[in-house]
Structure formats: structure tokens, C-alpha cells
Structure 1
Amino acid sequence: MAQGGSIVSGVAGRYASALFELAEESNAVDAVETDLDRFDALVAESADLQRLVRSPVFTAEEQARALGAVLDRAGIGGLAANFLRLVAAKRRLFAVREMVRAYKLLVADKKGITHAQVTLAEEPSQKILDDIKAALRGVAGGEVSVDVKIDPAIIGGLVVKLGSRMVDASLRSKLNSIRLAMKEVG
């Protein structure tokens, strides 16, 4: 767990670390990850489920009852379902998506996969995404998990965070550099 502590922190990190340890003991790391991914996708797709997860208006009992119905309908069971029910009972459902991300980081670390976050101005084509992944694999020297984030504010280009390194090759930062250089000249 000392190794995982450097990757994840806070409430989400503690819950994810505990789940990861249980999943390892049960030889269910991949199964739990699959179930958590399915649950996270359900939350991302449903405004009602997002409201249930985030809103403090719902009681723990209401969240647990609604969550139970969602899990049963989605066919999510076992350790992942028990974990999600516990999170609801402890009134920590608001942090569940961060817990899922933290769990995925722990799994990737265990498998020797480097995590990268790539921010682009618009959704990339599959070819561009494959080229980015190939370039990052070359830099990381191994398998890379890429999390793509869309932020139109960067105008163009990309921002890459790979481990503790960050490269900002966005059009916004280049324009800001030009603006600063023009102020110095004038």
C-alpha cells in the first residue's frame, strides 16, 4: 500500500486503496475495474444518476436504495457492488467518480502502465489518438493509458501530462508567449 499511497490521496485515494487491496486478495482486480468502469459510464451518461451521486439532498437510505436498483439493473455485483453500497452508506457517493479514477491508477501502476492525460481543443480522430498513444509509448518506454480531455479554451494543439512531466503545446500558450514578447518589444 505504501506504493499506492504515492499515486492516490485524499478520501477517494483511501477508499480506492482499500478496495484495491481487497480486490488483490480476492484475485478480482480486473473484474472490479470492469464493473467500476461500467458504473462510471452509467453516471457519465445519466443526468439523474449524476444528481443522485452529487446531491446532498438525498439521504443515505435513498441513495443506497436507488444505487441498489441501478447496480441490479446493470448487472454489477460482487466486490464492486458491495464497495459502491458502502460508499453510499458512508455518505461518500459524491466522490465515487474520483474513487473509480484512483482505483484505475492503482491498477495501471500494478501492471506497469504509465498514465497520461492529453488535453485537446476538440475530439480527435482515431488516427490522431493512435499517433499520440504511439508517441507517448515511445517516451514512457512501455504501455501508456491515455485519458483524453476536451477543452476548447486551448484553441488548438495539445497539453500532455505524463507522470510528473507536462508539455504545453497549446495554441493558447503560444499566443500568450507571443503577446508577452510583443509587450517587451514595445
Structure 2
Amino acid sequence: MRGVSATSLAQVLETVGGSTADGSQGVTVGTEVFAVVAALDANPVLRRVLSDPATESDAKAGLVRTLFGDKIGAEALDVVTAAARGRWSAARDLADALEQAGVQAVLSAAERDSSLDKVADTLFAFSRVVIEDTELRQTLNDRSASAEGRQALVTRLLGGQVDEASLALARQAVATREHGYEASLVAFAQDAIAREGRLQARVTSAYDLDADEKQRLAGALARKYGREVHVDVTVDPAVIGGLSVEIAGERIDSTIQTRLADARRALVG
């Protein structure tokens, strides 16, 4: 977002920080904010009214309290009210800002539990499951089907298997407007990494690295790049051996597959 929308987004996120300072209610606040986003998506007229710069901010705040005051908690209501008081370059910026606010609220709970890495790993892993299952991918990306039905499917697949922050974000990825489902999962995982100030290292390996191997690789990359690193591993037997690492716009490729390809090119001349 740019201009006035960026300023308003910063104010909304500041409100989230105050409403979820200890993280204890983060998932609840985030889930309630997501419910408001769904209501705005379903009602373009309401979205335009709440983002209309010609309408007094107090009037918009009053409308929010009237419509949602008895449906969501006080912390989530504060966040939505802050958004309604903001100025937005486009009506959709309001809903987008609230979604970002909801994501950060949920991640505050993961931060409190020291599980941001776990949330990122869970979302990255589920994105790969979705990509590899054509039928599941089509189902979760089918916008002709109800968001509620697709969210219920996510709950059936992940409920009881993952932490509540990961589940809340995996459910919300169904309803995002900018990306497809699996891309939204990746974006939320990257938000979790960024919240800790880490870099993401996308690693391709012939086998899944164990915890010690990931830790050693993360340490080596942290020393090289001067920041803590989250290692996300994709297994591809075709690389045969070695690793390919994409981080901070760079690619470090030491796979046997690439070495063989380089050798073949050298022989050809």
C-alpha cells in the first residue's frame, strides 16, 4: 500500500499491537477480524461506506460499533474501528489492511508461545501438500464454492494435527483475494519469519534434512548474511545430492544434478 493507505495501515497495525500485547488473545482477535473481512467482502456497499473519505470518521466508527459491537470482542472491535477511522486510497485497501491486522494478531499468539518457526514450517509444508494434490488444490482454490465450505475442509484436514495459530491462518488463506490458496499459505509463513526479523532460505535437497542439519545450515547462513535464518526444505530426489539454497535474492547451488549438467556443457564445448 502507498500514500494515505500506508499511513492508515500503520495505525491499524499499531492498534493490533496494543490489543494483543501479550499474545494471549491473539488467535481470537485475529479470527474475529477475519470474520469482519469476510463481511466486508460480502458487502461491497459497506466496504465503500467505511472507506469513503467524505464520511466523518466518527460516523464510520459508530457504524462499526453498531454492526459489530455485539459480534466481536472489544480488542477486535478496536482494530476494526481504527481501520474505519483511517483514510484509504481504494475501498479494497480497507479489507486488505484488516486481513494483515488479523494475521499479525494470530502471529502474536505464536510469538508468545515461541512457535513462529513452527507456524512457518507448518504452512510451508501444507502448501507443498496442496501443490502436489491436484484435486485438493482445485477444491481449495475454487471461488465458485463457499469459503465456509472450503474452510471446513481445511479444518477436517488439519484440526487436531497443528497448533491453533497455524489452523487459523490456513483457514484464512481460503478467503484471501490477492493470491491463490497455496501462495497465501506461503505469504503467511513469510509473515511469521519476518516477525522475528529472520531471512527465509529456500532449500532443495535430495532428502529431508533432520533438525541438527537444519540448525547447522541455518547457523552457517546466519553468519554469512548477518541475520537469523529460517530454513524451509523441499525434497527433490532429482538433485541426487548436495543442496540448492535461495536466500536474499541469491542462489547457492551445490547439487550433484547441477554439477553433472555443468560437466556435460563443458564436454560439449
Q: TM-score range by the shorter chain?
A: 0.5 to 0.7
Matched, 1:183 2:183: no
CA distance, structure 2, for counterparts of residue 171 and residue 35 of structure 1:
28
Provide the residue aligned with 2:211 in structure 1: 126
**What residue ranges of structure 2 are gaps of 5+ in the alignment?**
7-92, 111-115
| SS at structure 1 position matched to 2:253 | strand
- Tell me the secondary structure at the aligned position of residue 60 of structure 1: coil
- Any idea what the Cα deviations from partners look like across 1:150-169, whole Å, max 9, x if unmatched? 11121211111111011111
Provide, for residues 132-160 of structure 1, a one-character-per-residue CA deviation record: whole Å limited to 9, x for no partner: 12211111212111110111121211111
Q: Are residues 1:83 and 2:172 paired? A: yes
Q: Which amino acid aligns with 2:228?
A: E
1:52 to 127, 136, 139: 139
The CA deviation at 1:122 is 1.6
Distance 1:138 1:144 in 2: 9
Contact 1:117 1:149 in 2 (8 A): yes
In the alignment of these two chains, the number of paired residues is 165
Richer in strand (by share): 1
The alignment status of 1:19 with 2:108, answered yes or no, reads no
**1:86-112 superposed Cα distances (whole Å, 9 cap, x missing partner):** 44xx7x8x8222112112213322431
- Residue type matched to 2:247 in 1? L
One-letter amino acid matched to 2:239:
I
Higher relative contact order (CA 8 A, sep 6+): 1
Instruction: Please list, as runs of the form range in 1=range in 2, the aligned pairs for 1:5-154 lying within 5 A after superposition.
Output: 19-24=99-104, 27-31=105-109, 34=119, 37=122, 41=126, 44=129, 50=137, 52-54=139-141, 56=142, 59-61=144-146, 64-68=148-152, 70-71=154-155, 74=159, 80=169, 83-84=172-173, 86-87=175-176, 95-154=180-239
TM-score by length of 1: 0.64
Name the CA distance, whole Å, in 2 between partners of 1:35 and 1:177: 34
Give the residue type in structure 1 aligned to 2:212: K
Change in CA separation of 1:172 and 1:86 when aligned onto 2, cut-off 3 Å: closer
2-side partners of 1:141 and 1:22: how far apart?
30
| 8 Å CA contact 2:201, 2:232 repeated in 1 | yes
Q: 1:69 to 1:98 in 2, by over 3 A?
A: closer
Shift of the alpha carbon at 1:38? 6.9
Percentage of pairs with the same residue: 21
Q: Distance in 1 between matches of 2:184 and 2:262?
A: 37
User: Greater shift after overlay, 124-133 or 14-23?
Assistant: 14-23
Structure ID, larger Rg: 2
- Work out the CA distance in 2 between the residues paired with 1:170 and 1:42: 24
Cα RMSD over matched residues? 4.2
Unaligned ranges ≥5, structure 1: 6-13
The answer to whether the 8 Å contact 1:115/1:144 transfers is yes
Is contact 1:121–1:152 with CA below 8 Å preserved after alignment? yes
Counterpart contact for 1:16–1:102, Cα < 8 Å: no
Aligned to 2:46: none
Is the Cα–Cα contact under 8 Å of residues 17 and 103 in structure 1 kept in the other structure? no
**Residue number in structure 2 paired with 1:8:** none
- 5 Å-filtered alignment, 1:164-183, equals 164-183=249-268
Shift of 1:85: 6.1
Offset of 1:128 from its aligned partner? 2.5
